[in-house]
């Protein structure tokens, strides 16, 4: 009889070491690229918001974006949801930076041509530099348009992909695809939505702040004792309004209804569910607003308007996110906290608000616009230093 040998185990197929190494390198490169794209988008977003704040009326887009970011954090409870449109704005930043870098040779050649024109206007060298400048400008503009057509990533501006360009030249429907792509990109930014959201937030804050601030200004405008009475009344109203106003604005953004800005009873109810988070949010909001008054001591030159605006946006963004996070904590906890925590948070909020009101009282003597600068409550209205 013949003996039957047991079956040998089948070895599982393994990737070669070289392929595995290249696979890991590829995954790492993709992760680093995604990380770079996100952070580049965040920097671009802050710059775009800072530029928008320098334009009257358009600056409501910045306020609308900040309110929408805080509202999304309040709805989901995740801070990462407050960074809206990072990838889209990263494309805008890539287009701006890539175009700026590609135009450097044009600027250099333009300076040479202009210098030659000043020395010898009708010489052959000047004509040659002019022809070279025009040819270079056309090539650079074609490369910029081609990079935007490919997606607008930063690498697209420095590698023309000639084979793909050759294929695209013979394909039909290029204009339609380009038009639809631009329209889809612009529509996803929802500029009208953010403008309406910013207008609602501005109007809601103005309703609450206008009378207290005017009475607060009257402390130094009206004669004694009317000025003293006006100052005391304005201070009391500000101490009542300021602890609730950031949450009222975000609650209105969550509900999409301006009437929610007036519902102080609901905000008082929510503050009892997460008292420590509410006091922390109002503390950060008012504390981050204090250093920004230093930028109002002197009138900002027009050439550097965007720099102080960038500082204002950088300080305002975390405050809105933290305020939304405090609201999300209150949404998830239906029961009121112990009265010890509630009163501790109230005492902390009152002390912070009192210190803030005392600080802004003296800013009328250091600000460029005097006591009328008190109307520029950047922590609640438009985050601009002017």
Q: Quick check: 246 and 319 in contact, CB under 8 A?
A: yes
pLDDT truncated to tens, each residue of the chain (386 aa)? 445 555 555 544 555 677 777 777 878 877 887 888 888 888 989 998 888 888 888 889 999 999 999 999 998 888 888 898 888 888 888 888 989 999 999 999 999 999 888 888 878 888 888 999 999 999 999 888 888 888 888 888 888 877 777 777 767 776 677 777 777 777 778 888 999 999 998 998 889 988 888 888 887 777 888 888 888 888 888 888 888 999 999 999 988 888 888 888 888 888 888 888 899 999 999 888 887 777 777 666 666 667 778 888 888 899 999 999 999 998 888 888 877 878 888 888 888 888 888 888 888 777 767 777 777 788 888 755 44
**SS in 3 state form for 143-173?**
HHHHHHHHCCCHHHHCCCCHHHHHHHHCCCC
Half-sphere exposure of 140 (CA within 13 A, CB side): 17
CB 345 within 8 A of CB 277: no
* Residue 336, pLDDT score: 82
Cβ-contact 314, 234 below 8 angstroms: no
The predicted-structure confidence for 108-162, as pLDDT tens digits, reads as follows 999 999 988 888 887 888 888 899 999 999 999 988 888 888 888 888 888 887 7
CA distance 347 to 246: 18
Exposed, middle or buried by CB within 10 Å (0-12, 13-18, 19+), for 72?
buried
Which pLDDT score is estimated for 1?
46
Helices (H), the chain: 17-53, 60-76, 86-102, 104-119, 124-150, 162-169, 174-189, 191-221, 226-241, 245-255, 264-273, 275-289, 306-332, 339-363
What pTM was estimated for this model as a whole?
Answer: 0.83
């Amino acid at each position: 009889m013949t003996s039957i040998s047991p079956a040998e185990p089948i070895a599982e197929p393994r990737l070669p070491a070289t392929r595995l190494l290249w696979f890991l390198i590829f995954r790492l490169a993709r992760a680093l690229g995604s990380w770079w794209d996100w952070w580049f988008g965040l920097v671009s977003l802050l710059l775009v918001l800072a530029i928008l704040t320098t334009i009257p009326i358009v600056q409501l887009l910045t306020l609308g974006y900040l309110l929408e970011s805080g509202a999304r954090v309040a709805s989901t409870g995740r801070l990462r949801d407050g960074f809206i449109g990072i990838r889209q704005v990263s494309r805008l930043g890539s287009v701006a930076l890539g175009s700026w870098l590609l135009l450097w040779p044009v600027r250099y050649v333009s300076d040479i041509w202009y210098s030659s024109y000043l020395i010898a206007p009708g010489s052959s060298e000047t004509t040659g530099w002019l022809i070279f400048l025009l040819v270079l400008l056309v090539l650079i503009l074609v490369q910029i348009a081609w990079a935007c057509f490919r997606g607008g990533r930063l690498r697209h501006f420095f590698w023309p992909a000639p084979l793909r360009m050759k294929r695209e030249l013979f394909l039909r429907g290029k204009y339609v695809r380009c038009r639809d792509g631009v329209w889809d990109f612009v529509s996803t930014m929802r500029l009208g939505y953010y403008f309406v959201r910013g207008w609602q937030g501005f109007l809601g804050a103005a309703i609450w702040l206008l009378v207290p601030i005017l009475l607060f200004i009257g402390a130094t405008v009206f004669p004694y004792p009317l000025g003293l009475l006006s100052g005391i009344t304005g201070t009391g109203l500000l101490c009542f309004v300021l602890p609730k106003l950031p949450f009222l604005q975000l609650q209105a953004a969550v509900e999409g209804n301006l009437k929610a800005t007036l519902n102080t009873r609901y905000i008082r109810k929510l503050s009892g569910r997460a008292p420590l988070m509410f006091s922390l949010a109002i503390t950060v909001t008012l504390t981050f607003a204090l250093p920004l008054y230093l930028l109002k001591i002197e009138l900002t030159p027009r050439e550097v308007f965007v720099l102080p605006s960038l500082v204002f946006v950088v300080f305002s963004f975390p405050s809105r996110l933290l305020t939304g996070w405090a609201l999300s904590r209150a949404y998830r906890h239906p029961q009121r906290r112990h009265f010890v925590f509630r009163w501790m948070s109230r005492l902390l909020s009152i002390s912070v608000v009192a210190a803030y009101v005392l600080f802004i009282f003296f800013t009328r003597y250091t600000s460029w616009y005097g006591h009328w600068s008190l109307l520029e409550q950047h922590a609640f209205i438009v985050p601009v230093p002017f």
